Structure 1
Amino acid sequence: MASEDLSTAIRAALRTADPRAKVMATRALVRRWRKGELAHAFSVTMPDRPAWPDYLELRPPGQMPKRGKGGSDRNRQALWHSLAHIEFVAIDLALDMAGRFGGAMGRAFVGDFLSVAADEALHFALVDRKLHSMGLRYGDLPAHDGLWASAQATAHDVAARLAVVPMVLEARGLDVTPAMIERVRAQGDEHGSRILERILDDEIRHVAVGARHFKDWCHKAAVPTDSAWISLVKEHFAGVVKPPFNDSARLAAGLSRTAYGALA
């Protein structure tokens, strides 16, 4: 019999600042949800911001140091630290999606995004371990706040959140990761390339989850999917949808080439 409701557990994980503790809290709540130990109820609201380590220096994206593409130790550390930050914030993005919108969107929506959160927790753990092997910890370098800014801009509207976070921000990862894999492999880091391949495979599925629920929302709202997506991205995304695109990965994730091509 479920004694605690889902929103309370999600909020607690979002309010966990220590990176490893957040990973453990996320895994634990997903296990409890799958076992039926958390009631599908939403008694508390989600925080405006999740808790992050107080030693993490956040900068606007435009003030981040330029990262080189060479194989120097400094460039490699900057790359993996950037990936660690993306995966850490992705845990909170998936948790917030389930906790903020799950009451209205239903159990299948909740289950999908909790599965995404569990994957992101695993990704962060893999990248964090990689960072430690390089003599670094997450938070040793500055990070930008652009990902959560997009979450805040879409906190009022599940369609906008789906359009921007999985279908723009995560989809961008599908475009840039293959070249990153080749660059890391060319530097002789086969272990790193395998981590990135695992992340890419999972991210195709994550984008597909977002695209599927967005299409379902459009169907229920009786609006055309492509034009609704284009309109929401124009309204709520401050960045640019830019090529080159990984069309095969985007197709596998269910994204419309007509739609993203119209914004390129």
Structure 2
Amino acid sequence: MSNKWNLIVDVEECINCYNCAIAVQDEYADKAHPGYTASMPKHGHRWIDIKRAERGNFPIVDISFVPTMCNHCDNAPCIEAAKNNAVQKRGDGIVVIDPVAAKGQQHLVDACPYGAIWWNEDEQVPQHWNFDAHLMDDGWTEPRCVNVCPTGALKSIKVSDNEMAKISLAENLETLKSELGTKPRVYYKSLNALSKILIAGCVERDANGRTECAAEVSVSVAQSGESLAEAKTDEFGEFKFDGFEQNSGKYQLTFSLDGTAQKSVEVELENASLILDLTI
């Protein structure tokens, strides 16, 4: 089985620096790569687009940044929608849009369920991030977006599908809109920001008539008597539990200090993250 390219995006490591997006602009804006892509417009296209995901509210707001791009799907809808074999899947897993054969095929923009295909009005051609296929064919070991990422949030690997399945399972990777069955080759780690909600809060206590942050308070969360997770408040009295499904029902939180339960509360999760402000 041949090895194929995959991209892993670690959302927790993305700091919204835009190095990846700038690298794409530098590589393609006003620069055609014959056989691979026409030149990218200087303005309006975001072949790598960083989405902002915000959860919670004052005093605890959780913000994540999610780089998105062409997913190089194995069951790519754009390939099915293309005429004249204008979009093809290479043996190394990369999806390419032929800049000549795809001329005039604006419908391909709407064929992508991820919004990753852009219409170039000047060139009259649909375009996408093509995994820097021209560079990979020239011997590069990673696309430029990976090369310039300062935190390691982007990682490209060329492995067999079986090996990638093992990596995905071991690292708990996810893909965007997996329910569509498009089989993306872009995987995400720590994608809770888009798919899950959290329970978080700030705990205070009275200290001789003065309110202060309650650090080192043990917090446990349970559902129907089953313990799910435990944590301790930080120096600001804050705690956070992540990874809950929307509308998943009632949960019980217990707050303990020095081994003694101080307070218990019941909360119900609906369609948004829950932020608590408590005094023990």
| Greater Rg by CA | 2
TM-score normalised per structure 1: 0.25
Higher normalized helix content (fraction of residues): 1
Higher normalized strand content (fraction of residues): 2
